[in-house]
C-alpha cells in the first residue's frame, strides 16, 4: 500500500469518526428521582366524652350487696353471662368519688369478656341491653377486696362504675347436642356458614371439608380472650348455634390464612362436630375495667 493511499484512508476514517461524534446528542443532566410521597398525618386521638348522667329508671339490689341502677335502658341485644362486650366505663371510689380509671376520659371504648372481670361486673352486666347506661355500686368483696391492682384503689374499697354499652356479641342455641361439651380452651371442629350484616355469605365449611378452630384464632387486640372460644363454651358435640360477632371482636392474626373477612360484623351459624378440650390456663390478675 502506498503512503499516499494510507494517508487518504486515515483521513477518511478520521472524517467518519468526526461526523459520528458530531451527531451524538449533547449529554443531558440526570433526571432527579421523584419526590417521596408525603406521609399522611396520623388520625387525631379520640376526644374525651362526658360521663352520662340522669335519673335512675330502674334499680335492683342483687346478692352480695351489688346495686344495679339503670339510667338508660337500651334497645339492642341483651347481654348474656360469659359473652364479650364493647363498652365505655367510668370508675370511682364510693367513699369520696375519686376517679381511678375512665374510658370516657380517653374517648375510646374497650372490649372485654365477662369471664375476665371482677365479680361485680360479671353479675351486674347480664340483662343490660346495647345502648343502655348502667351504674354499678360494687362492695369490696365483689371487686378487689384486700388485693388492689393499683395504688389508686385502696384495699377493701367499694367501687362505683358507670357503664355505657356500645356493642355485645350474642349467642343463640338452635339445637342441643348430645356429645362431649366444650369447656375452656379447646380445639373445635365445625361445619358453618359466615354472613355479613347484609346477609351475604362470605365463608362456608361443609361436612366434606370441616373447619378446625384453634385458640387465639379470633383474639381482639389488648385482650386475653378468643371470641369463638366464648361461642363454643358449654356447647355439646352435635349442637348448633348462631353467634353474632361485632367488628371489634372479629380480629385474627395477620398470618392466619382464612377466607373469613376480618374487622367486619359477622354472623356465624355452626354445628359442633368434634371437640378436644385443652388444659385450663392459670387465671390472670384482673385489672380495673376488666381488661
Rounded Cα–Cα distance for residues 112 and 131 (Å): 17
The 3-class secondary structure across 87-105, one letter per residue, is EEEEEEECCCCCEEEEHHH
Which 3 state secondary structure label does DSSP give 211? strand
Q: What is the mean pLDDT of residues 228-246?
A: 97
Against a cut of 0.85, is the pTM above it? Answer: no
Cell of 20: 459520528
pLDDT, one tens digit per residue, over 149-195 is 889 999 999 999 999 999 999 999 999 999 999 999 999 999 999 99
Where are the strands (E) in the chain, listed by range?
58-61, 67-72, 84-93, 99-102, 110-113, 133-138, 159-168, 170-175, 186-195, 201-205, 211-213, 240-245, 266-277
Cell of 9: 484512508
User: How many C-beta neighbours within 10 Å does residue 48 have?
Assistant: 13
User: How many C-beta neighbours within 10 Å does residue 150 have?
Assistant: 11
DSSP result, 125-187: STT-BTT-EEEEEE-GGGTTTT--SSTTS-TT--EEEEEEEEEE-EEEEEE---SPBP-SSEE
Residue 164 is predicted with a pLDDT of 98
pLDDT, one tens digit per residue, over 54-90 is 999 999 999 999 999 999 999 999 999 999 999 999 9
Rounded Cα–Cα distance for residues 131 and 74 (Å): 4
Rounded Cα–Cα distance for residues 142 and 165 (Å): 21
Band the pLDDT of 286: cuts 50, 70, 90. Answer: low
Higher per-residue pLDDT: 118 or 257: 118
Residue 32 has pLDDT above 80, yes or no: no
Q: For residue 156, give every residue at least 6 positions away whose Cβ sits within 8 Å of its Cβ, in sequence order, or none.
A: 140, 145, 146
Amino acid at each position: 500500500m502506498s503512503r499516499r493511499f494510507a494517508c487518504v484512508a486515515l483521513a477518511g476514517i478520521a472524517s467518519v469518526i468526526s461526523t459520528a461524534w458530531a451527531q451524538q446528542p449533547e449529554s443531558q443532566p440526570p433526571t432527579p428521582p421523584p419526590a417521596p410521597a408525603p406521609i399522611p398525618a396520623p388520625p387525631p386521638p379520640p376526644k374525651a366524652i362526658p360521663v352520662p348522667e340522669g335519673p335512675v329508671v330502674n334499680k335492683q339490689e342483687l346478692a352480695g350487696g351489688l346495686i344495679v341502677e339503670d339510667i338508660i335502658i337500651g334497645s339492642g341485644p341483651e347481654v348474656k353471662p360469659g359473652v364479650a362486650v364493647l363498652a365505655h366505663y367510668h370508675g370511682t371510689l364510693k367513699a369520696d368519688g375519686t376517679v381511678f380509671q375512665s374510658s370516657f376520659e380517653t374517648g375510646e371504648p374497650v372490649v372485654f369478656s365477662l369471664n375476665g372481670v371482677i365479680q361485680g361486673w360479671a353479675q351486674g352486666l347480664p340483662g343490660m341491653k346495647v345502648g343502655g347506661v348502667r351504674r354499678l355500686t360494687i362492695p369490696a368483696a365483689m371487686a378487689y377486696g384486700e388485693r388492689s391492682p393499683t395504688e389508686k384503689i385502696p384495699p377493701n374499697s367499694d367501687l362505683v362504675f358507670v357503664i355505657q354499652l356500645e356493642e355485645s356479641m350474642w349467642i343463640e342455641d338452635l339445637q342441643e347436642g348430645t356429645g362431649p361439651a366444650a369447656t375452656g380452651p379447646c380445639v373445635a371442629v365445625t361445619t358453618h356458614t359466615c354472613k355479613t350484616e347484609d346477609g351475604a355469605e362470605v365463608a362456608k365449611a361443609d361436612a366434606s371439608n370441616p373447619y378446625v378452630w384453634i385458640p387465639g384464632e379470633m383474639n381482639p387486640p389488648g385482650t386475653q380472650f378468643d371470641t369463638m372460644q366464648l361461642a363454643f363454651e358449654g356447647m355439646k358435640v352435635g349442637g348448633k348455634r348462631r353467634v353474632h360477632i361485632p367488628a371489634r371482636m372479629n380480629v385474627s392474626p395477620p398470618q392466619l390464612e382464612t377466607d373469613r373477612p376480618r374487622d367486619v360484623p359477622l354472623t356465624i351459624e355452626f354445628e359442633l362436630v368434634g371437640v378436644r378440650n385443652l388444659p385450663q390456663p392459670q387465671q390472670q390478675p384482673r385489672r380495673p375495667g376488666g381488661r
